[in-house]
Structure 1
Amino acid sequence: MRYGRERKQATRRRIIETAGRRFKAGGIDGSGIATLMAAAGLTNGAFYAHFDSKDDLVAAAVADQLREQCEILGAAAPGRAGVEQILRVYLSVQHRDSPEYGCPSAALLDEIARCADATKRAYTGGVLAVIDDIAARLAPHDPQSARVQTFSIYALMVGTLQLSRALADQQLADGVLEQGIQSALTLLGAEDR
């Protein structure tokens, strides 16, 4: 039985979304095709109608997750107020405790570094879109001038979230999040002087 183009696109979309959440929750290496397809409510055989390989799916899922993150950032207030809003949401207990619904960088960065070039290219393009959104808030008339600073702030955010997730001491983990916010705001403030 042949399905229409719209149904095929919807199925592909479901696989990518499911894979994105599963990869962030259990890692790329911890999520096999059979597990991913079962979570999407599909058979293994359906996988190859949409993707050539798991690497192909990983690249698509990483790109999709970063696109979604960029869309979420786009809803923040304009200017520096929006950057502070982004910082506080990103470095929140809710984000830390729900990796499957959060940032792909914080959940997958170490694995992406070991992925095929297609995934690294998808990641680079996606993360540049995130960086450029934040940089445009910091310097609306010249976003390129804020790009390096934005990379530093983004790296601080990702590392802070990863460290907070790894700590067994809840109070310490919460303190790391708060200090990350304050450190990022200090970096932003230093640029104003």
Structure 2
Amino acid sequence: MRYTKEHKQETRQRIIATAGRRFKRDGIDGSGVATLMKDAGLTNGAFYAHFESKDSLVVSAIADQLHTLHANIVAQAAPGAAGLEQVVRWYLSPDHRDDPVDGCPNAALLDEIARSGDTTRQAYTDGVLVVIDGLAARMTPEDPISARVKALSLLGLMAGTLQLARALTDRQLSDDLLEQGIRTALALVEAQQHL
């Protein structure tokens, strides 16, 4: 049976989206093709009709996850400092900490992305720059490029705080860390506004 181009694209997108969720839950290395295809409701054999390798799926999934983060969180935030505060409070929330599968790929996958090949790292860089530029535009609307490194450090602070909060077994300590992370991130945002 021949499928339409639209059906093939929808199937490919379903594989990418379910793989992104699985990668954030079990890691890239901990997610085999068979599991990824089962998650998408497809057979192993269908994988190669859409991707030439697992690495090509990883590249697509990371790009998709960062696009989703930007579209659903950063782009939806209010302009200026109020939008940055919305992003910070969402990112460092107990809900985000407790739901890595539906959260940001940074805190869930950075260690594996850093050990990946150049193609994966480039897809990550391209995707994260879109997120960073969205943050930078809220830091310094008149010159977002000047705020790019500051926005990157804000994301780094948030991702590192979230990773630590997820690793702690003491729930209260984890909650306290998230609250301190919010205060620190908002102080960074405020300092940027006064430059």
Q: TM-score range by the shorter chain?
A: over 0.9
Residue 110 of structure 2 corresponds to which residue in structure 1? 109
* Structure 1 runs, 4 residues or longer, greater than 3 Å off: none
Separation of aligned partners in 2, 1:120 and 1:167: 28
Look up the SS of the partner of 2:29 in the other structure.
Answer: coil
1:123 aligns with 2:127: no
CA root-mean-square deviation: 0.8
Aligned to 2:158: 157
Q: What is the 5 A alignment of 1:83-94? A: 83-94=84-95
Q: CA deviation at 1:181?
A: 0.5
**After superposition, what is the alpha-carbon deviation per residue over 1:106-134, rounded to whole angstroms, capped at 9, x for unaligned?**
00000001112111010000000000000
Write out aligned runs for 1:42-53 (5 A): 42-53=42-53
Question: What are the Cα deviations for residues 2-43 of structure 1, in whole angstroms up to 9, with x where unaligned?
Answer: 211010001000000000000001100111000010111000
Q: Distance in 2 between matches of 1:82 and 1:188?
A: 11
Unpaired segments ≥5 residues, structure 2: none
Match of 2:5 in 1: 5
- What's the TM-score once normalised by structure 2's chain length? 0.97
Cα shift at 1:189: 2.0
Alpha carbons 2:97, 2:162 under 8 Å: kept: yes
Q: Secondary structure at the match of 2:49?
A: coil
Give the corresponding residue for 2:188: 187
Q: 1:91, 1:70 → 2: CA distance? A: 16
Letter of the 1:117 partner, please give it.
Answer: D
Counterpart CA distance in 2 for 1:79 and 1:102 is 23
Please report how far the alpha carbon of residue 190 of structure 1 lies from its aligned counterpart in structure 2 after TM superposition: 2.2
Match of 2:64 in 1: 64
Distance 2:181 2:111 in 1: 20
Greater alpha carbon shift after TM alignment, 111-120 vs 183-192: 183-192
Equivalent-residue separation in structure 1 for 2:38 and 2:189 (angstroms): 45
* Equivalent position SS for 1:48: helix
Matched residue, 1:79? 80
Instruction: Return the letter of the residue paired with 2:84.
Output: V
Structure 2: how far apart are the matches of 1:181 and 1:79?
A: 17
1:133 matched to 2:134 = yes
Paired with 2:151 and 2:162, the residues of 1 have a C-alpha distance of 16
Q: TM-score, normalised by structure 1?
A: 0.98
Could you tell me how far apart the structure 2 residues matched to 1:60 and 1:146 are? Answer: 28
Q: Which amino acid aligns with 1:39?
A: D
- Residue 141 of structure 2 aligns to which amino acid in structure 1? P
- 1:162 is displaced (CA, Å) by 0.2
The AA in structure 2 aligned to 1:170 is R
Q: Distance in 1 between matches of 2:6 and 2:16?
A: 15
Verify the 8 A CA contact 2:84 2:189 in the aligned structure 1. no
Contact 2:67–2:127 (8 Å) recurs in 1: yes
